[in-house]
Amino acid sequence: FSSRRRHTRSDRDWSSDVCSSDLPEDEVAESIEASTFGSIYHGVMENIYQRMQGKLVTGDLLEKIQKDDTLLTNLIEAMFAKHYFQTSRIRPLTGQNYLTGEIIRKYVKQTLITDRKHTPFIYLHSEFPIDTTHTFDGTRQIRLKGSIDRIDEKDGITRIIDYKTGKGETTFKTMYDLFDPQKRDRPKAIMQVFMYAMIYSQINHPKSLCPGIYHLRDLFKIQFDWSIIHEIKTEKKRIEQTIYDFSPYIQEFTDTFNKCIQEIFNPEIPFKQTENTQICEYCDFATICKR
């Protein structure tokens, strides 16, 4: 179950089908790259919450921001300038960019509506940087870098949230499934947020840590739930266990994560092409290997 055999799509992927079933009133063609769309959304959310860092966030405050279209327009245009036009000059959006901006506005507003159900909470960090050394195989070490989209705290529970603009699962059966390259719909988003939870727990030692995922295309569902579910199969029935505390899972995840790293660095196991050609469609190297 090695990364040696995987080519995966961007974690912040987005395509034209974002605008189909989830947003029936809008049928907008893709006008910007998938990663750029995600970066703009992430940037808007970061700017909204950055000013509330370390403070108590209330439902009334989020509702006020949600209804402030002038503020949202300014943030969306600023993030377009930074991530798409790559300039310091902020300009009004036109054409397809305007339509894309309106889709982002809907996602941002719906995120705030979802967050209001979680209030009151203390907002801790946006895009929290990770740069740490991870030990595996006894003494060998690797460097892990990344950023956690958001971290907040409610009733003594620290919540780590990863925003995902593409599809994804929030349910898993075994820890091995998170790393299995042969699994067609491998829940890689869960693996990523679990990795963040593992690292954050080592750095900050929170009393209780709860990982979660905001799949934006699911935000508009009445029963939307950001929680991660562990599906346990017994002889008689299946049990769905919501993970509110990551501590009972951290050791098993760390062990499975380390096995994957060991395989990657094992000189006896050669790198080879993935056997799951379906994901080759999104691979940056598809034009080289001709899959």
Question: Mind listing the pLDDT tens digit for each residue in 123-176?
Answer: 999 999 999 999 998 889 999 999 999 999 999 999 999 999 877 899 999 999
* Region 185-199 average pLDDT: 95
Which residues neighbour 90 within 8 Å (Cβ) at sequence distance 6 or greater? Answer: 74, 77, 78, 81
pLDDT, the chain, mean: 87
H-helix segments, 163-246: 188-204
100 contacts 37 by C-beta, under 8 angstroms: yes
43 contacts 49 by C-beta, under 8 angstroms: no
pTM, two decimal places: 0.84
User: Residue 22 above 60 pLDDT?
Assistant: no
The pLDDT value recorded for residue 131 is: 93
User: Residue 3 above 60 pLDDT?
Assistant: no
Window from 28-42, 65-79, 128-142, 223-237 with minimum mean pLDDT:
28-42
Enter the tokens of residue 134. 């991870």
224 contacts 171 by C-beta, under 8 angstroms: no
Which position has the token pair 């279209």? 69
DSSP per-residue letters across 246-268: -HHHHHHHHHHHHHHHHHHT-TT
User: Residue 66 above 70 pLDDT?
Assistant: yes
Which position has the token pair 């921001």? 65
The C-alpha R_g of the chain, in whole angstroms, comes to: 20
Window from 5-9, 109-113, 229-233, 280-284 with minimum mean pLDDT:
5-9
The pLDDT value recorded for residue 147 is: 95
End-to-end, the C-alpha distance of the chain in Å comes to: 21
Which position has the token pair 């300014």? 74
d(CA 179, CA 260): 7
Answer whether the bond into residue 120 is a cis peptide, omega within 30°. yes
Q: Is 1 helix (H, G, I), strand (E, B) or coil?
A: coil
d(CA 183, CA 22): 26
pLDDT by residue (tens digit) across 72-92? 999 999 999 999 999 999 999
